[in-house]
Structure 1
């Protein structure tokens, strides 16, 4: 049976999907500023694109994406939406728990926004501690450092060459390429701001006028396609590993 997003199923076909699957895949992203050139949904679109590459994997059921995340640090830029970290954590946990109630008690949280990471980790830990579900938080870029260094001679920033490349590969219609230079010229060289070792860059605006960090003009569709392919391979391998694990072996050791 062809796999698709859960919301496209009927309740009857959903029953079949949950019966066949052992791993729920939940994309999480954000709707936040990515400078003047990239869309507000960059993180959401990236997480969704990578998650969709395993939609037809025989072990997966693809859950609806969570669009809005932990993004208050971008709040001064127009269009940014955000939610409280604890609300986000609870919401994600409820979605995973819902899937577990239908028999799929393992999940991969395919994340596209770094600001979500702590909340996702807490949600996953609590789900595991309560033996409701085992959820693996996974950032789509988490295993791509070597590829990013090789192709772009950089590390991940924000609205930078990495994210520009990904958007050119998966959603180029939303990229304002003529604004990439402005994003770079008015952006930050690195993420954050510190004074004598104290981290005082609480908001993106504290260290980037454009909202970008890095060199978005170096991005390309070709690099984006490589990033997507490698991330897809990593996600498929993670799904296969998780599908093969006995759930009892994933619960906390010595937990009572």
Structure 2
């Protein structure tokens, strides 16, 4: 069920006790070959299809995330981390008001991870809701590693393959080689960690065109395989969460 498509009388009695799948991503550069909406398009596809399969609730997508590290590239949008955390915590409590107290943050942007974890802690500590962050590639790490020789953490073949599968019309296939040659194939090639400290803050300090990995290794077929495997993991997570008594998800008593 997709929340935004429903009229309120049809939601009466349908929300209390269900699991909410909240897709979150970003609007930021993903190299010369992928759309700026890559992350939120991926997150929404996972949340929508998981909701269709399980019968749980899918909310509207949060399209802009914590992305200041991509700000040098035209079109990148971002919000400050405290504002993002406050916003997500606020609408999570709003869901709890309607009886939706179990939430999966279906996330597809690495810059959101630590902030979603913090929000999850906050709403759990206040016993408003239980919210857990899920990121698709973290659910199938071995499969992702096996699919590509040079994976890359951003704008690489894994994201390229997923967008080729989900929205092939948005991929500039004629720029895949340029993306590879103008980016950084392996993080091991970088010299921006000194004596255990990360000396960089922005993506452009590591990659001239903002991407990593070998984009030419991506195919829609690989994207479909990865998507289906991660979708299974998400559905299993949501089903597990649905089975848990809410009280068992709250913080344990003090020792």
Q: Does 1:150 align with 2:158?
A: no
Q: Match for residue 31 of structure 2?
A: 35
Residue pairs, 1:178-217, within 5 angstroms: 178-191=174-187, 193-217=192-216
Offset at residue 16 of structure 1 (A): 4.0
Distance in 1, matches of 2:46 and 2:135, equals: 10
Offset at residue 198 of structure 1 (A): 2.5
Q: Match for residue 219 of structure 1?
A: 218
Distance in 2, matches of 1:9 and 1:209, equals: 45
3-state secondary structure, aligned to 1:25: strand
Distance in 1, matches of 2:140 and 2:21, equals: 20
Deviates more, 1:151-160 or 1:58-67: 151-160
Q: Does 1:118 align with 2:114?
A: yes
Distance in 2, matches of 1:163 and 1:72, equals: 20
Q: Match for residue 95 of structure 1?
A: 91
Select the residue among 4, 9, 25 that pairs with 1:7.
4
Offset at residue 57 of structure 1 (A): 4.2
Q: Match for residue 232 of structure 1?
A: 231
Structure 2, unmatched stretches of 5+, are none
Q: Residues 198 and 49 (structure 1 numbering): CA distance in 2 closer, same or farther, change over 3 Å?
A: same
Offset at residue 58 of structure 1 (A): 4.8
Offset at residue 255 of structure 1 (A): 5.6
Distance in 1, matches of 2:66 and 2:108, equals: 11
Select the residue among 66, 70, 87 that pairs with 2:66.
70
Distance in 1, matches of 2:150 and 2:184, equals: 14
Structure 1, unmatched stretches of 5+, are none
3-state secondary structure, aligned to 1:103: coil
1:202-248: per-residue Cα shift (whole Å, max 9, x none)?
10000101111111111000000011101110000001100000000
3-state secondary structure, aligned to 1:35: coil
Distance in 1, matches of 2:114 and 2:249, equals: 20
What is the aligned residue count? 252
Q: Match for residue 135 of structure 1?
A: 131
